[in-house]
Structure 1
């Protein structure tokens, strides 16, 4: 409809302007019915200019050329041709559109008018030439703008797809972290409960007092496990949006209808079914075999490129440095070190957008030292909710292994997480790691460490 509206406006301009210009010029043919038909023919074709740009261009060129060839006055009759040319150049093939310009010059200026006995003024010839050149330049500008706009939209769509993929990867990492947290919170306590309950059964008759102490330990361990589960469930529920909760309340899951109670005021009729004698019992169908759960591989610092692939894919620039002789670590130490690195870098992504990160791993004789530094953020981080417990959770995990962790702002800007883990599974205490106020150097652990783990609370950025 818009194209037909433009066609009506152009027709009105050409008819009105053509009448005024033709009346003011001398030595031209008087405007008659055939002239009005030519003035209207070009604008009517503009209604199909987006569907058939090249045929519409040919119709407007023919109408304009015939109008001038029969002797009518030169005027706004070229407006329909100009609009058709711009449309064909932008939406069609320009290699078929631009050759129309010299054809129009030959038809409007020379030699077609000369063959018909009409002389074209020199200034008019140069003016028409400049007008056609400006028409080509305008068409090329519009064409390049359209191409740039199409590329901008394609880049915006690609950016939206990348952002969606980044959010999905971040959500998957958070789910994996929740699974590890649940494992860390329950595995140890459940093992303690198993061992202590076995001891309680053996000591119940022989040593009831010791069995009582064992049962008390089971009670404490189970209470701690429930507390950890409730804490994790609270964190998970905190991530559920209000819209999701409202949707769940409005559309609850279907439940099975309640069975009527015995002794109800109206009982269903009882049916007697007589089974035939010696009816063989049907063979029970084999129970379906449940698929074995898929266990995701634990993170490891053996291959840093694989470990850091996810955060680097999200746009974080991570530099790594390894100091000392690399050696194989116990599984618990390896997993704990990889988890600390991943959680620290995930904090950088969330709370320091645009910052870079440096991961330093130092192998000493008695310990494994980790330092994760990040620079200042280049943009203001978005406030996504209250302060979390990521640093506290990491510190508890490290302390459980006999290590130490400190975290806080750096004097030069940015943030630092420093951790020190024992290099064996003896779970003996090692000196505290370099904190946020350190100089960036990790001193080797002494042979007989005596310092305890620092319990000074550090600011949590998770």
Structure 2
């Protein structure tokens, strides 16, 4: 339906660039006044130079010229009306026998405004109407129209008129195409900026989830342990409270770092992003929550790109958090497989699941998959045949190096 209305003369245009929409709120007084003065002065000069063949300018001619340029004042608001109006006044002007001259400029500006506003058929029809009217007057009706004693011009002259018509339409179409290209480029830039903003929001959401989910899980387990042992074993309860204090302090620090990047995007973070060098801290926190973690490294241990290092740490952190929250197993096995160009991760627990969400659900697994996918890697998570749960990820290091540049 929109496609059909775009080709009607009176309907709304299919596409309208922002510069044209903004101009609806103001009238082009300056350009219209300049065109009016130029057309009036140029027509006077043309009338003197064609005095032998054309009728002299009189009040009616001046009014026709003024009407044509006055219509240009609303060319942005009513482009179809202006295209036909300027073509009609020019046709009456030429039919009355007045001199050829800047009257064609009025038609060119009116049709130009219609074409760049999306009313291509209307502009073409107005120009075609003017040319057909000129043919009719110049070769058939000249006997009954002024000036007296007028003769039919050579047909070769019509080729010149046709060339001007084609030039007007071609220039207008070129301007329309350029405007559409500029508008498309602006829309693409706006979409890219929105996409970057969305990606940044997702990144911050992942960071907050990973930090809070892990720390709060440790705090929850230790708080339960402390309450249970508060009377029976005060020293063990004190140890649980110490773990809670350390976990909450670390969580507050990481949350503050994420919020700092949110408040001042583009600035360097105050503290380095966590990586696998902090894996011993993660193991110690899990141990405080009653989970024994075994770490195995295979291959030649190398320095990882920052993007891959952070993603690997967060994936291990989220996997261990899920073991603490959703598994009945009190042991977990972490394997780091260093290979040329990639890092492999595998986190296993023996299970069984303590609820319906084996291995966790919702944002945790989604966040792990997003981290791996952002670096061109893959991740698989699912129940093992023996009832445990496994998270296995592959992170390409080349893509992570480019991501961190």
Which TM-score band applies after superposition, normalised by the shorter structure? Answer: 0.5 to 0.7
Cα deviation code 1:302-352 (max 9, x no counterpart): xxxxxxxxxxxxxxxxxxxxxxxxxxxxxxxxxxxxxxxxxxxxxxxx9xx
Match of 1:20 in 2: 45
Secondary structure of the structure 2 residue equivalent to 1:404: strand
Match of 1:409 in 2: 303
CA distance in 2 between counterparts of 1:415 and 1:242 reads 19
Q: CA deviation at 1:67?
A: 1.8
Cα deviation code 1:370-412 (max 9, x no counterpart): xxxxxxxxxxx9844430334355443346432226675369x
Match of 1:125 in 2: 158
Aligned partner of 2:103 among 74, 77, 102: 77
Match of 1:220 in 2: 239
Q: Does 1:185 align with 2:70?
A: no
Match of 2:331 in 1: 427
Match of 1:229 in 2: 248
Task: Check conservation: 1:68, 1:74, Cα contact below 8 A.
Answer: yes
- Cα separation, partners in 2 of 1:50 and 1:428, compared to 1, 3 Å: closer
Q: How does 1:41-56 map to 2 (within 5 A)?
A: 41-56=67-82
Task: Check conservation: 1:409, 1:415, Cα contact below 8 A.
Answer: no
Any unmatched runs of 5+ in structure 1?
A: 201-214, 246-349, 351-380, 446-460
Q: CA deviation at 1:437?
A: 7.4
TM-score, length of structure 1 as denominator length: 0.54
TM-score, length of structure 2 as denominator length: 0.60
Aligned partner of 1:103 among 95, 118, 129: 129
| Number of residue-to-residue matches in the alignment | 294
* Alignment RMSD: 4.0
CA distance in 2 between counterparts of 1:74 and 1:156 reads 47
Q: CA deviation at 1:426?
A: 5.9
Match of 1:58 in 2: 84
Q: CA deviation at 1:43?
A: 0.5
Cα deviation code 1:100-152 (max 9, x no counterpart): 232211223x2311221432234432111111011122222233333344444
CA distance in 1 between counterparts of 2:246 and 2:74 reads 73
- Cα separation, partners in 2 of 1:191 and 1:436, compared to 1, 3 Å: farther
Q: Does 1:389 align with 2:274?
A: yes
Cα deviation code 1:55-91 (max 9, x no counterpart): 2222211221222222222111111111111112222
Structure number with the bigger relative contact order (C-alpha 8 A, sep ≥ 6) is 2
CA distance in 2 between counterparts of 1:170 and 1:428 reads 27
Secondary structure of the structure 1 residue equivalent to 2:28: helix
Indicate the structure (1 or 2) with the bigger Cα radius of gyration.
Answer: 1
